[in-house]
Amino acid sequence: MAHQVHAYHMVDPSPWPLTGAVGALLLTSGLAIWMHFHNMTLLALGLILLLLTMYQWWRDIVREGTFQGHHTPPVQKGLRYGMILFITSEVFFFLGFFWAFYHSSLAPTPELGGCWPPTGITPLDPFEVPLLNTAVLLASGVTVTWAHHSIMEGHRKEAIQSLTLTILLGFYFTFLQAMEYYEAPFTIADGVYGSTFFVATGFHGLHVIIGSTFLAICLLRQVLYHFTSEHHFGFEAAAWYWHFVDVVWLFLYISIYWWGS
Amino acid sequence: MAARLLLRSAVRAAAACRSVRTPALSRSMAAGGIPTDEEQATGLEKVIMKAMKHGEDPFNMMKPKHYAGSKADPHLVPSITNKRIVGCVCEEDNTAVVWFWLHEGEAQRCPSCGAHYKLVPHELPH
């Protein structure tokens, strides 16, 4: 079985990095073609290829770790470092958009009326739906921690219930935010206020959807008995990502919704 | 909120009742429904888990043990064949590592600092 002198995982050859790279190329070029020539073919092709790649690549990782036992302690340590580094890169991604927001809002130009919010913009009341959204995400942080402790203590039913609750709260946030987007009195085209607001909150919303999807996969795996009370790194990674999404929202709420109103 | 707390205390009470009947199993498929590594680990992860339970480290995951390096207490170097390369950092923070082959049999000495090294046969689990 293990004809190796080390505890690391030398992965079998796989086509998914190539299909992922091709998919990313088709997605990006497809986006450009769609914007200029109104044709969605390349974009759709790239999206499908990327989704198929993600599904099959991560399915292979689950097979290698859970079913074949390749995720030894040093391998798991590497996965932990990987997830931490990825989340760190996402922090820097959002840092850029916060920089843009503060650049424009701390010294508003005469074209905006020399004030923030700019003249003519009616910002959303931070103590209405945005405050509810804050409560929803904070509660989901509690439920995901509850789920983690349930797994560690070996309580299957509690783990499934608390993880489901976390995902439902995530969906509730997305639904509320979608309603807010629909009802907002300003659009992305409304000057730098609209740009910074919708790009920052929009990317955050995308990350909420990604995080919810990750948690949903974890729920499926928990139901299928993949996780043990000691070894459940996939769940931990999803929980870390979810906490990151929550923290980003808190910064968004304080900066854009509250201070910026 | 109250319903959740009630549910939680009900689950805990049920678990307590169960654990009274099976006192040895506090965490397992039988007790809570989530398997343990003991029950479910497989492949290399299981091999390593079993070895670590016996205090063994067949894949050299841990730092090597500390030896004096004298004739009476030589550095023991595990090897799956009859020779292994040794790199001696004679003094702490030395940047020039002294490399040499260590063969099975009598202990050899580092050509630079004279520390004793002895090859020890090491079985790979398979």
Same structural domain, B101 and B121? yes
Distance from the first to the final alpha carbon of chain A: 63
Spatial separation of the C-alpha atoms in residues A78 and A63, rounded to whole Å: 17
Question: What is the arithmetic mean of pLDDT over A107-130?
Answer: 97
pTM equals 0.87
Question: What is the arithmetic mean of pLDDT over A61-68?
Answer: 97
Same structural domain, B71 and B57? no
Higher-scoring residue by pLDDT: A65, A3: A65
- Find, among A53, A52, A61, A66, the residue nearest to A82 by Cα: A61
In a domain, B5, yes or no: no
Same structural domain, B53 and B92? no
Q: CB B35 to CB A231 under 8 A?
A: no
In a domain, B105, yes or no: yes
Q: Can you give the pLDDT at residue B21?
A: 46
Dihedral (C-alpha) B63, B64, B67, B71: value to the nearest 10 degrees? -160
Q: CB A155 to CB B47 under 8 A?
A: no
In a domain, B59, yes or no: yes
pLDDT digits (tens, 9 = 90+) for A179-230: 999 999 999 999 999 999 999 999 999 999 999 999 999 999 999 999 999 9
Same structural domain, B44 and B97? no
DSSP state of B29: T
Which of B44, B63, B82 corresponds to the end of one domain?
B63
Same structural domain, B93 and B107? yes
In a domain, B1, yes or no: no
Q: Can you give the pLDDT at residue B30?
A: 77
Same structural domain, B82 and B97? yes
In a domain, B101, yes or no: yes
pLDDT at B122 over 90: no
pLDDT at A77 over 90: yes
Same structural domain, B126 and B80? yes
- Cβ–Cβ under 8 Å, residues A219 and A96: no
> Containing domain of residue B90, as a range?
66-126
Tell me chain A's radius of gyration from C-alpha atoms: 21
SS3 content of chain A, % helix, strand, coil (to 5): 75, 0, 25
CB-based contacts of A59, cutoff 8 Å, min separation 6: none
- CATH number of the CATH domain containing B115: 2.60.11.10
Q: CB B59 to CB A156 under 8 A?
A: no
Which of the residues A64, A150, A158 would you substitute to probe the B interface, choosing the one with the greatest number of B C-beta atoms within 10 Å? Answer: A158
- Give the tokens for residue B123: 């079985």
Longest C-alpha distance within chain B, in Å? 74
**Amino acid sitting at position A29:** S
Same fold across A1-70 and A72-257: no
Query: Which option is the CATH number for A1-70: 3.40.50.1000, 1.10.287.70, 3.40.47.10, 3.40.50.1100?
Result: 1.10.287.70
Query: Which option is the CATH number for A72-257: 3.30.365.10, 1.20.990.10, 1.20.120.80, 1.10.10.10?
Result: 1.20.120.80
Q: Specify the number of domains making up chain B.
A: 2
CA A210, distance to chain mean position in Å, is: 4
Higher-scoring residue by pLDDT: B4, A143: A143
Same structural domain, B86 and B104? yes
In a domain, B20, yes or no: no
Q: Can you give the pLDDT at residue B19?
A: 45
Q: Parse chain A into domains and list their residue ranges.
A: 1-70, 72-257
Same structural domain, B71 and B125? yes
A3 interaction partners in chain B (CB closer than 8 Å): 126
Same structural domain, B58 and B94? no
Question: What is the arithmetic mean of pLDDT over A67-94?
Answer: 97
Binding residues of B: 88, 90, 110, 113
pLDDT digits (tens, 9 = 90+) for B26-50: 567 778 899 999 999 999 999 999 9
Same structural domain, B44 and B83? no
- The ipTM assigned to this model is 0.86
- Please indicate if any CB of chain B lies within 8 Å of the CB of A225: yes
Count CA within 13 A, CB hemisphere, residue B57: 9
In a domain, B23, yes or no: no
In a domain, B13, yes or no: no
Report the gap between the CA of B22 and the closest CA in chain A (Å): 15
The closest CB to that of A68, out of B33, B42, B61, belongs to: B42
Question: What is the arithmetic mean of pLDDT over A104-127?
Answer: 97
- Find, among A172, A58, A226, A29, the residue nearest to B37 by Cα: A226
Question: Nearest residue of B to residue A9 by CA position?
Answer: B44
